[in-house]
Amino acid sequence: MAGSADHIKALVRSHATGDDASFYAVATQIAAQEARKGHTRLAKDLKQTIEASRAEPVARRVTPIAQPRGDLADLVSASFPDVSLRDLVGPPELLDQVRQVITEQRQRRTLLDRGFVPAHRLLLEGPPGTGKTMTAAVLAHELSVPLMTLRLDSLMSKFLGETASKLRVVFDAVAQQRAVYLFDEFDALGGDRSSNDVGEARRILNSFLVFLEEASPESIVVAATNHRAILDRALFRRFDLVITYGLPTAKEAAAVMRARLGPMAKGIRWSALSKATAGLSHADLVKGAEAAAKQALMRGDERVGADDLTVALAARRAASVGHA
Ligand SMILES: Nc1ncnc2c1ncn2[C@@H]1O[C@H](COP(=O)(O)OP(=O)(O)O)[C@@H](O)[C@H]1O
Ligand SMILES: [Mg+2]
């Protein structure tokens, strides 16, 4: 048994350093050890698995680099979000759409081999704080790929005049490194900025659409916007899927707060809170629940009271009205 523990440690170490040669050397040793113990079926099985995975092209086997390098590093930030589909609260149709994308991406080989293209170009639209960025994170997490986030508005102001060539760098990465690429604040391209910018924005939008058309289905391109109205309707057709987000229903609002509060929410009568939650976004509700929980804890209570929530939610409402 001590032998196997050492083997496992060696496997983990070689995995962490990306040392393929020693990883397979250790795996082969394990197979040999099993063979000596008389476990011939297991040994043979192991050897076959090792051979098969060695034969796979490196790009698909090795977890890709954690952080983008070179030109790309200035344009995107990479993360590995830890948020799953279970955490996303929304109407069943919305959750089905997200689930569908995950399933198609998981089975993309089967689809592509038969000439079908998995959904990989998504437009997410709806009010702030309703789960658009979160959905991009969920997709990355569920597919075990990095989330690459770009902010178009900063891309445009930072690289004025060369945004189109920067976009090429990003879409090259889309083809080379499987990931979720989130173009947040997508409306920066369609919005009516100061009149000077409009021509430039149009040009960038057009090159974005050309790149989008050709985008590799190995990655997912997600465009997110809070401002549906200012986007050209024709734009919607360029995406495989348009997902529309909205403010939560009373039931969804309760689910969001319950998830955030966990056992602290025991005993809350959610139906009595529907007036307090109306009109607030998911993000507002999370923040309100957090504020209420802190109040309760600082008072020495292990549970949140309905009053804590009512007060905290009213404060959120005042804050978000102040923002609009
Ligand atoms: N649909 C949702 N379900 C659960 N939590 C949500 C949802 N939408 C937003 N949240 C919470 O609010 C935070 C901010 O939401 P985000 O996805 O950034 O909103 P958006 O991108 O639509 O403005 C999330 O990290 C999450 O904690
Ligand atoms: Mg967002």
Burial of 249 (0-12, 13-18, 19+ CB in 10 A): middle
Q: CATH class for domain 250-323?
A: mainly alpha
Query: What pLDDT, in 10s, does the model give residues 140-186?
Result: 999 999 999 997 776 776 766 777 788 888 999 999 999 999 998 88
Q: For position 56, what pLDDT does the model report?
A: 65
Q: For position 57, what pLDDT does the model report?
A: 54
Mean pLDDT calculated for residue range 122-126? 95
Query: What pLDDT, in 10s, does the model give residues 234-282?
Result: 788 899 999 999 999 999 999 999 999 999 999 999 999 999 999 999 9
Amino acid at 199: G
- Enumerate residues lining ligand 1, CB below 6 A: 87-90, 128-134, 224, 245, 256, 282-283, 286
CA of 35 to the centre of ligand 1 (A): 52
Query: What pLDDT, in 10s, does the model give residues 76-99?
Result: 889 999 999 999 999 999 999 999
Mean pLDDT calculated for residue range 2-12? 79
> Is 220 in contact with 185 (CB distance < 8 Å)?
no
Q: Does domain 71-244 bear CATH number 3.40.50.300?
A: yes
Nearest to 46 by CA among 31, 58, 29: 31
Query: What pLDDT, in 10s, does the model give residues 30-71?
Result: 888 888 889 888 888 888 888 878 776 554 444 445 567 777
Asked if the model's pLDDT at residue 19 lies above 90, the reply is: no
Asked if the model's pLDDT at residue 228 lies above 90, the reply is: no
What string of DSSP letters covers 96-134? HHHHHHHHHHHTHHHHHHTT-----EEEEE-STTSSHHH
Which residues make up the CATH 3.40.50.300 domain(s) of the chain? Answer: 71-244
Q: Which atom of ligand 1 is nearest to the CA of 90?
A: 1
Mean pLDDT calculated for residue range 290-296? 97
Q: Which atom of ligand 1 is nearest to the CA of 126?
A: 22
End-to-end Cα distance, the chain: 64
Helix (H, G, I), strand (E, B) or coil at 289: helix
| Ligand 2 ion: residues within 5 Å (CB) | 132-133
Query: In the structure, what pLDDT confidence band is assigned to residue 203 with cuts at 50, 70 and 90?
Result: confident
Substitution candidate for ligand 1 out of 134, 180, 251, 261 with most atoms within 8 A of CB: 134
Cα–Cα distance measured from residue 280 to residue 324, given in angstroms and rounded to the nearest whole number: 12
Mean pLDDT calculated for residue range 184-196? 64
Which residues make up the CATH 1.10.8.60 domain(s) of the chain? Answer: 250-323
